């Protein structure tokens, strides 16, 4: 995620120009790969006791009044015997079946759908849980959030860390990844865009159902759909399949410039692939909405953007395909592994394309933020739930990586990033793992370095051992 930058008078003109598109406002209890729940940051998210393998989402959306109805089949495997279990859902459930048999269910609270099988589910035995539901997601607020973004002509489901519960039932935590089939039914005059590869579209007299498929494991907040009047471009470029969509509700000039920017997605993806290793997914591209989300989001394989996004934002969201989407956090406290890395790749892209070097950017950031107590008054590996999208998570995270590149050298740093994404593809990670891998790749003891950059509440000393 990257919020639309708001440059204030606090920034010098030169630094403001340099940072446009970069600034953003925003216990190892279980083994890696198991849901880290309850997550201290968002304790209602996710559920233990099972592993979801696949979501088959079939939703129908009505633009006239914002009503959504649907059926989602969740294929899951219990990891223990389950007399009951929960799914995260804010809509109203109508009925629930397990392997075709009606079962009891209730909403324990606004967020939790509690399902009681006719007999306890056996550990290791796959089952299919079918939930039928309805509601008006635009009217739903939960935990201070109202995440539905729509008007009478367009809708897009984009937000972080919460979005899924507004449109399908799920195990809503990044550590329970699954594959997805997403079918959305809307008036046939509308286009529907989602994750992965377009499987097909079936038109009827008044409506059409569009089917998208994500065959790579994906966490729930990265699943999305957009429906509306979109101009579409699809094809192959720079070795990448792409699918780009721009809202026709934007003015002609904004439509053209937005599409021109999205056309660069395949080239940027190919450049990132050269930096990081194979692109994790089958297709790339993006969606530009006419709605005003106030941020861009790295939806898996197809990021979503506000109108006329700067190129640096596109670099950021496409970098997230490796850092955040393929390699995802196991705990929300480690969000710097997503945002700091994507922000660093913006600096690296600028350097590689004739702009300022990452070292010069690092020192410019250091000089600018050195006297900013609020910027340093944060533990980057545990910022707190209210600051996961803080300036420091992005910019201090990028500074840490730029300094680490100086400290261990460019060849080892390149090997580090490529090994990180290769070892943890489709998985979940914690900050300590990155620190350990950095020491392994470089052969150096980096404890004081990471303590200074990630955990101390003051600027690191301006010395070579801290990458400065």
Give the distance, in angstroms, between the CA of residue 289 and the centroid of all CA atoms in the same chain: 17
Whose structure tokens read 């959504």?
68
198: number of Cβ within 10 Å: 16
* Residue 317 in domain: no
For the cut 80, the answer to whether the pLDDT of residue 33 exceeds it is no
Are 246 and 166 members of one domain? no
For the cut 70, the answer to whether the pLDDT of residue 25 exceeds it is no
* Residue 367 in domain: yes
What does residue 386 show for φ and ψ, rounded to 5 degrees? Answer: -80, -5
pLDDT computed for residue 2 by the predictor? 76
Nearest to 3 by CA among 283, 436, 433, 395: 395
Are 210 and 240 members of one domain? no
Whose structure tokens read 């998210």?
45
pLDDT computed for residue 215 by the predictor? 98
pLDDT tens digits along 288-346: 999 999 999 999 999 999 999 999 999 999 999 999 999 999 999 999 999 999 999 99
CA distances to 82, 106, 170, 345, 397 from 115, rounded to whole Å, are 10, 7, 12, 44, 41
- DSSP secondary structure of 308-323: S--HHHHHHHHHTTTB
* b/e sequence 14-50, b meaning 16+ C-beta within 10 Å: ebeebbebbbbebeeeeeeeebbbebebbebbbbbbb
Three-state SS string over 77-88 comes to: EECCCECCEEEE
For the cut 50, the answer to whether the pLDDT of residue 32 exceeds it is no
Report the C-alpha gap between 452 and 394 in whole angstroms: 16
* Residue 37 in domain: no
- DSSP secondary structure of 239-300: TEEEEEEEETTS-HHHHHHHHHHHTTHHHHHHHHHHHHSS-SSS-EEEEE-SS--SEEB--T
Host domain of residue 398: 2-30+327-466
pLDDT grade for 7, boundaries at 50, 70 and 90: very low
Confirm if 80 and 125 have CB atoms less than 8 A apart. no
Structural Rg of the chain based on CA atoms: 22
Confirm if 88 and 168 have CB atoms less than 8 A apart. no
Question: Do the strands 428-429 and 328-329 form a parallel or antiparallel pair, or are they unpaired?
Answer: parallel
Report the C-alpha gap between 300 and 303 in whole angstroms: 7
* Residues whose CB falls within 8 Å of the CB of residue 5, separated by 6 or more in sequence, listed in order: 19, 20, 21, 22, 23, 24
pLDDT computed for residue 20 by the predictor? 37
Whose structure tokens read 């406290």?
333
Report the C-alpha gap between 175 and 160 in whole angstroms: 15
pLDDT computed for residue 36 by the predictor? 59
Are 74 and 171 members of one domain? yes
pLDDT tens digits along 377-419: 999 999 999 999 999 999 999 999 999 999 999 999 999 999 9
pLDDT grade for 5, boundaries at 50, 70 and 90: low
Confirm if 316 and 345 have CB atoms less than 8 A apart. yes
What CATH number has the domain bearing residue 360? 1.10.390.10
Domain finish residue from 209, 226, 243: 226
Confirm if 186 and 207 have CB atoms less than 8 A apart. yes
* Residue 40 in domain: no
* Residue 244 in domain: yes
Per the structure, the count of domains in the chain is 3
More confident call, 37 vs 151: 151
What does the pLDDT average to over 261-284? 98
Are 277 and 370 members of one domain? no
Are 194 and 243 members of one domain? no
CA distances to 22, 280, 425 from 320, rounded to whole Å, are 14, 11, 13
Confirm if 57 and 168 have CB atoms less than 8 A apart. yes
CA torsion, ordered 396, 398, 400, 406, to nearest 10 deg: -140
For the cut 50, the answer to whether the pLDDT of residue 88 exceeds it is yes
For the cut 70, the answer to whether the pLDDT of residue 34 exceeds it is no
What CATH number has the domain bearing residue 175? 2.60.40.1730
Q: Which of 24-38, 136-150, 361-375, 429-443 has the lowest mean pLDDT?
A: 24-38
Are 215 and 249 members of one domain? no
CA torsion, ordered 292, 296, 298, 300, to nearest 10 deg: 30
Domain finish residue from 226, 249, 275: 226
pLDDT grade for 4, boundaries at 50, 70 and 90: low
What CATH number has the domain bearing residue 235? 3.30.2010
pLDDT computed for residue 180 by the predictor? 98
For the cut 80, the answer to whether the pLDDT of residue 447 exceeds it is yes
pLDDT computed for residue 29 by the predictor? 37
Three-state SS string over 107-154 comes to: ECCCCEEEEECCCCECCCCCEEEEEEEEECHHHCCECCECCCEECCCC
Are 212 and 241 members of one domain? no
Are 244 and 222 members of one domain? no
pLDDT tens digits along 204-261: 999 999 999 999 999 999 999 999 999 999 999 999 999 999 999 999 999 999 999 9
Confirm if 212 and 197 have CB atoms less than 8 A apart. yes
pLDDT grade for 12, boundaries at 50, 70 and 90: very low
Are 87 and 25 members of one domain? no
Are 211 and 235 members of one domain? no
**Distance between first and last Cα of the chain:** 28
* Residue 128 in domain: yes
Report the C-alpha gap between 64 and 15 in whole angstroms: 46
Average per-residue pLDDT for the chain: 93
* Residue 21 in domain: yes
Are 178 and 279 members of one domain? no
What does residue 428 show for φ and ψ, rounded to 5 degrees? Answer: -130, 145
* Residue 122 in domain: yes
What does the pLDDT average to over 281-285? 98
Half-sphere exposure of 328 (CA within 13 A, CB side): 28
What does the pLDDT average to over 431-437? 98
Are 235 and 212 members of one domain? no
Domain finish residue from 310, 342, 364: 310
For the cut 60, the answer to whether the pLDDT of residue 108 exceeds it is yes
Whose structure tokens read 């010098």?
12
């Amino acid at each position: 995620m990257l919020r639309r930058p708001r440059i204030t008078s606090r920034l010098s003109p030169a630094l403001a120009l340099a940072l446009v598109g970069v600034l953003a406002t925003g216990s190892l209890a279980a083994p890696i790969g198991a849901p880290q729940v309850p997550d201290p940051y968002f304790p209602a998210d996710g559920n233990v006791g099972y592993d979801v393998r696949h979501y088959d989402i079939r939703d129908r959306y009505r633009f006239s009044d914002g009503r959504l109805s649907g059926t989602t089949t969740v294929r899951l495997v219990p990891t223990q015997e389950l007399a009951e279990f929960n799914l995260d859902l804010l809509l109203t459930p109508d009925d629930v079946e397990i392997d075709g048999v009606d079962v009891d269910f209730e909403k324990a609270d606004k967020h939790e759908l509690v399902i009681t099988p006719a007999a306890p589910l056996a550990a290791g035995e796959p089952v299919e849980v079918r939930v039928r539901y309805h509601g008006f997601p635009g009217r739903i607020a939960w935990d201070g959030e109202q995440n539905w973004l729509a008007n009478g002509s367009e809708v897009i489901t984009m937000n972080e860390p919460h979005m899924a519960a507004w449109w399908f039932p799920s195990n809503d935590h990044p550590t329970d990844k699954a594959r997805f089939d997403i079918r959305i039914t809307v008036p046939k005059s509308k286009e529907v865009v989602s994750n992965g590869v377009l499987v097909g579209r079936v038109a009827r007299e008044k409506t059409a159902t569009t089917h998208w498929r994500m065959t790579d494991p994906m966490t729930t907040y990265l699943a999305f759909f957009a429906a509306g009047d979109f101009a579409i471009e699809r094809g192959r470029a720079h070795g990448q399949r792409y699918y780009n969509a721009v809202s026709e509700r934007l003015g002609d000039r904004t439509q053209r410039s937005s599409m021109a920017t999205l056309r660069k997605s395949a080239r940027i993806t190919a450049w990132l692939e050269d930096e990081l290793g194979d692109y994790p997914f089958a297709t790339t591209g993006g969606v530009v909405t006419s709605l005003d989300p106030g941020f861009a989001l790295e939806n898996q394989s197809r990021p979503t953007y506000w109108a006329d996004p700067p190129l640096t934002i596109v670099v950021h969201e496409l970098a997230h395909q490796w850092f955040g989407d393929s390699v995802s956090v196991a705990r929300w406290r480690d969000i710097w592994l997503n945002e700091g890395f994507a922000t660093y790749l913006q600096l690296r892209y600028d350097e590689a394309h004739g702009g300022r070097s990452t070292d010069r950017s690092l020192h410019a950031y250091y000089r600018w933020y050195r006297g900013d107590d609020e910027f340093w008054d944060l533990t980057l590996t545990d910022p707190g739930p209210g600051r996961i999208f803080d300036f420091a998570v992005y910019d201090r995270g990028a500074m840490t990586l730029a300094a680490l590149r100086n400290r261990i050298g460019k060849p080892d740093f390149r090997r580090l990033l490529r090994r990180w994404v290769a070892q943890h593809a489709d998985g979940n990670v914690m900050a300590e793992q990155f620190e350990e891998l950095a020491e392994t790749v470089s052969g150096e003891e980096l404890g004081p370095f990471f303590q200074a950059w990630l955990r101390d509440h003051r600027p690191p000393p301006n010395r070579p051992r801290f990458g400065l």
